[in-house]
Amino acid sequence: MRFIVSNMKSLKEQAIALQRFHAFYRTGQFPNALYPTERRAPRWKMMLQAWDGRQVGTTHREIAEVLYGHRTVAEDWSAGFLRTRVQRLLRGADRLVHGGYLDILQGGSGLSGRRSAGQEPEWANTSATGLSGQEKGF
């Protein structure tokens, strides 16, 4: 077998691929150690859980109870930091759902579409039905 380095910019990725192939050749399995978990995945999961909750009409407090537990929310909700945390998760989820996932697939953070304060994205002004909040009576 030959291994040719074709591009020094992608040497790290090529070396990892070779290492994975070698491990598979030796053991017949793909060892988990050579496929590390993305460190941001738990946060992405929480963002999408919060987004799902909002889509079915769940309150921010109810979302927090699912994510952090009823007892934690009962003890700490009035302090405000859990509310803020849920709001941040929902903002991040909006970015993921509306194109940020493509950034993740290309190796980015998924949050690249950051806006300055007060600037709404085009999708925020319409619902899935294409009606604005005012047209629906909100």
Residue 112's pLDDT is 64
CA distance 76 to 10: 47
CA distance 21 to 77: 50
Q: Model-level pTM greater than 0.75?
A: no
Tens-digit pLDDT profile for residues 11-56? 888 888 889 999 999 999 988 888 888 888 999 999 999 999 999 9
Count Cβ atoms below 10 Å from residue 54 Cβ, excluding itself: 18
CA distance 129 to 123: 11
pLDDT tier at 138 (50, 70, 90 boundaries)? very low
CA distance 47 to 85: 10
Tens-digit pLDDT profile for residues 60-119? 999 999 999 999 999 999 999 999 999 999 999 999 999 888 888 887 777 665 443 444
